[in-house]
Amino acid sequence: INGYFDVHSTNYLDLKHRTQATWNPFLLEYNKISFALTADGLKDKKDFLPNLREAIACGLHDTTALKALTIIPAQYLKVSDQLGTLEKGKLANFIITNGKVFDKNTVILENWVKGIQYKVAGALDTGLAGVYDLTMDGARLTQLSFSVKDNKLNIKPKDSTYKIAKVKYNTDNKQISFDLKTKTETYYLSGWSDDKTYKGIAINSNGGTLNWNLVYVREDSAKKEPKDSVKLLPVFSNLPYNYAARDTNTFMIRNVTVWTNEKEGIIKNTDILVVRGKIAVIGRVGKEELFFWDVKEGSFPIISGSGKHLTPGIIDEHSHIAVMGGVNEGSQSVTAEVRIEDVINAEDINIYRQLAGGVTTSQLLHGSANAIGGQSAVIKLKWGQLPDGLLFPGVTPRIKFALGENVKQANWGENVTERFPQTRMGVEEVFEDAFTRALEYEKALADFKAGRIKVAPPKSIQLEALLDVIKGKRLVTCHSYNQQEINMLIKVAEKFGFKINIFTHVLEGYKVADKIKAHGAGASSFSDWWGYKMEVNDAIPYNAALLHKAGVITCINSDDAEMGRRLNQEAAKTVKYGGVSEEEALKMITLNPAILMKIDDKVGSIRSGKDADLVLWSGPPLSVYSKPVMTFIEGVAYFDITRHQQAEEQLAKEKQALVEAMNKAIASGKKPEEPKKEKEKIQHCEDMEIYGEEDEQ
C-alpha cells in the first residue's frame, strides 16, 4: 500500500485479510489441521522467512513450522520413506545453522544433499556476539561490543572516545580487520580468531606497528535483542453484517398489510405469527392459537407492521451470484457433468445485497457457452452460513441448456472457430447426439447387467445426468431468445420424451407463446432488456405480459447481481407494459418462480405451514419508493435495516482500526503492498474466460 490514501481506498475484507492472515498457520495448528508451507506466489522469495517468523510470533509453534517444511510435504508427496526426518536409512538431506532455525539472525552454515556438503559462503556465526577487552602491546584500551545482524558483524566501542569503521570478517579463514579511530590517531587492525580470542597486528597513522588482542569477557546483555512475544489475534467481524446468527425464528408482526399470493389475496391490517421458522397464523392471534402452536405469550418479539406491507420472499429464477471462479465451462459443447453446487461462494457480498432487496431464494445457473451446460444449484440466501447451509433442501436436480449466439460462439471472436457447433443447425445436432448417446449408454448398462455383453461401458456422470433429464428426474432451464430455436428444442425434447421446464430470457417467447403453453413449459423473462446483440433485437417489454395472458406461467429474472437487488421494480414494469395487475406482477417474482422450480410447497406465498421466507416493506412492494425493512428466511431476519445501520457503524470503526494499524506498520518500515486493482466480479450468462483472459460477450 503506497501511502495513506491507498490504505483508505482498500476494501474492508482486504484490509482484514492483510491484518489477520499471519494467524492462519496458528489457527490451522490449533484446530489440528495438517498443512505444508510453500513460497509459491511470493513476488520475492526472500520474504518467505520473515513472513514465517511473523506467523510464529502470532502463535505458530516453531516445531509445527519445521514439520510444515519437512515431514508434512514429504508425506503429501509420498516420499516420507526417504525425506522429512533425520533417521537411519533416509537420504542425508539436512542443514546446519548457527542458531535456532527460525531466529531472526540465524544463518545456514552448511546444506547437505544426499550426503554431499555444500558450505554457504559468508554465513556468520552468531556466537561472535559479546563484549571483548581490547589491548595493544599489553595495554588495555577499551571494551568492544560485537553483534551479528543481517549476516553482518558490527563492532561498537564502549568508550565514546573511540570510533570503529570498515569492519570486515572472512568466514572461511576467520580473519578480521577494522579501523579504530581516536581524536588524534587511527589504527588499522587485522588479525585472526582462535575460538573467542582475536590477535593480530595494528598499524598506526605513522606506519608504526603494535600487537593487539581481543579477549571475550561476557555476553552484551545491554545490547541483547528482546525476544518476540506472541501477538494477540485482533478481533474483527468474521463476516460483515452477520447479525442474523443470534436471531430467534419465532415472532409476530402486528397490523400489517399481507400480500398472500393465495385465494385470500391482499389482507389489510392483520397479524401474522411465525413459529420456529414456519408461518403459523395469519389473522387474529389469541391464547388458543398460542396454545395450539405451543408458544408462550411474551416469549417472542412483536414487530409493528403499521403502514408496512408483507410479501413472500423474492425468488430469482436466473442468477449467477455466489459462483466462485468462472460461470462457464466452455471447453466443449456438452458439460452436463459439472456442478454449480461445488463452487458456491458463501462469502459473496451480493448475497447480502440481494437480501437487502428482498430476495430470499436464487437459482444459480451455469452460463450459456454450451448447448448443454452444467448442473444448477438452488440456494436460500442465508448470509453467514457455509456453502452447504445455503442449499435449498429437497429440490429436484436441474441443469442448464442454452440456444443461440453464445452456443454457436458468434460473439467469441474471430479466432474461436474450432469448437462444434458454429451454426444454429449444429446446436440442434448437439442435443440429438447427446441424448442418443445417453440412451445408448443406458442400453449398454442393461446389456452388461443381463450378460449380453462382457464389458461394462465406462461410467459417465455426463450421460447419467442426461438420462435423468429424459426420465424427468432432472429439470431443464434453457437460455433462449429466438423463436425458431425455442420451437426446435420443444420438438427435440418431445422426440426424446421429456419437457423443457423453463425457457429463460425467452425474449421472443411472445411469438410462440401457444407452443410453449402446449409443451407445458414455463417462461422466465427480462422485463425490458433488448438490443444488446442481434438475436434480441425483436425483444419487447410486453413479452412477460403476453406470455402470462397466453396462460404460460411467467416470472421475471435478473441474470445480474445489480438487477437482483430491485426485482420488485422489474416486476412492476409488467403493470406498465401489458396491464398486469399488481398482485399478478408480484407473483412473477415470488409464487410463479416457486411453481416453475417445484418449490411452491415451501415458498412463494404466505400460507400456514410454509417456510417463513418473508419481506417486510416500508410501503407497497412494487413502488420505487418502497424498500425492505426486514427480510426473513425461515423466520430469521437475515436483513434488518436498523441492525444494518448499526453494522455499518461498527464496520466503519473496524475499518478505521485496520487503516490505523496498516499505516502504523508502513510508518515503522514494513514493506508496503500494492492494493488490489481488479474490480468486483459480477457474472452473467455470457461471461467467458478464454485462455485465461476474461471476455464478456
Q: What would the pLDDT profile of 114-138 be if each residue is shown by its tens digit?
A: 999 998 766 676 677 889 888 988 8
Closest CA to 363 of 282, 272, 443, 476: 476
State the pLDDT at residue 447: 97
- What residue spans of 403-522 are helical by DSSP H? 424-449, 461-470, 483-495, 513-519
Closest CA to 431 of 394, 388, 478: 478
Closest CA to 126 of 96, 102, 153: 153
State the pLDDT at residue 693: 39
Q: Which residue has the higher pLDDT, 139 or 441?
A: 441
Q: How high does pLDDT run on average in the chain?
A: 89
Are the C-beta atoms of 627 and 533 separated by less than 8 Å?
no
Residue 131, C-alpha cell as written in the block: 563484549
Q: Mean pLDDT throughout 689-694?
A: 42
Spatial distance between the Cα atoms of 528 and 545, rounded to a whole number of angstroms: 11
State the pLDDT at residue 4: 45
State the pLDDT at residue 395: 96
Closest CA to 468 of 476, 458, 459, 477: 476
* Strand pairing category for 693-696 and 398-402: unpaired
- State pLDDT tens for residues 310-353: 999 999 999 999 999 889 998 899 999 999 999 999 999 999 99
State the pLDDT at residue 237: 66
Burial of 491 (0-12, 13-18, 19+ CB in 10 A): exposed
Spatial distance between the Cα atoms of 660 and 664, rounded to a whole number of angstroms: 6
Confidence band of 148 (pLDDT split at 50, 70, 90): confident
Q: Is residue 130 helix, strand or coil?
A: strand
Confidence band of 222 (pLDDT split at 50, 70, 90): low
State the pLDDT at residue 692: 38
Closest CA to 320 of 372, 379, 363, 382: 363
Spatial distance between the Cα atoms of 566 and 571, rounded to a whole number of angstroms: 9
Q: What is the 3-state secondary structure (H, E, C) of 167-192?
A: EEEECCCCEEEEEEECCCCEEEEEEE
Q: What is the model's pTM? A: 0.80
Helical axes 461-470 vs 424-449, angle rounded to 10°: 100
Are the C-beta atoms of 411 and 405 separated by less than 8 Å?
yes
Confidence band of 270 (pLDDT split at 50, 70, 90): very high
Residue 420, C-alpha cell as written in the block: 462444434
Residue 157, C-alpha cell as written in the block: 566501542
> What sign results for the dihedral spanned by CA atoms 535, 536, 537, 539?
positive
Q: Mean pLDDT throughout 493-521?
A: 98
Closest CA to 542 of 556, 557, 528: 528
507 C-beta neighbours (distance < 10 Å), count: 23
Spatial distance between the Cα atoms of 39 and 53, rounded to a whole number of angstroms: 14
22 C-beta neighbours (distance < 10 Å), count: 20
Question: By percentage, how much of the chain surpasses pLDDT 70?
Answer: 92
For the cut 80, the answer to whether the pLDDT of residue 695 exceeds it is: no
Residue 550, C-alpha cell as written in the block: 397466453
For the cut 70, the answer to whether the pLDDT of residue 679 exceeds it is: no
Residue 152, C-alpha cell as written in the block: 553482518
Closest CA to 555 of 564, 544, 565: 544
State the pLDDT at residue 90: 95
- State pLDDT tens for residues 24-68: 999 999 999 999 999 998 888 988 999 999 999 999 999 999 999
Spatial distance between the Cα atoms of 411 and 508, rounded to a whole number of angstroms: 20
Q: Is residue 282 helix, strand or coil?
A: strand
Counts of helices then strands in the chain (DSSP H, E): 18, 30
Closest CA to 269 of 316, 231, 307, 224: 307
Q: Mean pLDDT throughout 531-542?
A: 93
- State pLDDT tens for residues 150-195: 778 888 888 888 899 998 888 777 888 999 888 888 889 898 887 6
State the pLDDT at residue 36: 96
State the pLDDT at residue 262: 97
Length of the chain as a residue count: 697
Give the range among 294-303, 430-439, 627-636 with minimum mean pLDDT.
Answer: 294-303
Residue 492, C-alpha cell as written in the block: 427435440
Q: What is the DSSP letter of 339?
A: B
177 C-beta neighbours (distance < 10 Å), count: 15
Q: Mean pLDDT throughout 78-97?
A: 94
Question: By percentage, how much of the chain surpasses pLDDT 90?
Answer: 65
Q: Mean pLDDT throughout 496-519?
A: 98
State the pLDDT at residue 218: 81
Residue 363, C-alpha cell as written in the block: 437459482
Confidence band of 409 (pLDDT split at 50, 70, 90): confident
Spatial distance between the Cα atoms of 543 and 646, rounded to a whole number of angstroms: 42
- State pLDDT tens for residues 549-590: 999 999 999 999 999 999 999 999 999 999 999 999 999 999
Task: Name the residue type at position 108.
Answer: I
Q: Choose the most confident range, by mean pLDDT, from 41-50, 230-239, 515-524.
A: 515-524
For the cut 70, the answer to whether the pLDDT of residue 255 exceeds it is: yes
> What sign results for the dihedral spanned by CA atoms 159, 162, 166, 168?
negative
Query: What residues does 323 pair with on adjacent strands?
Result: 344
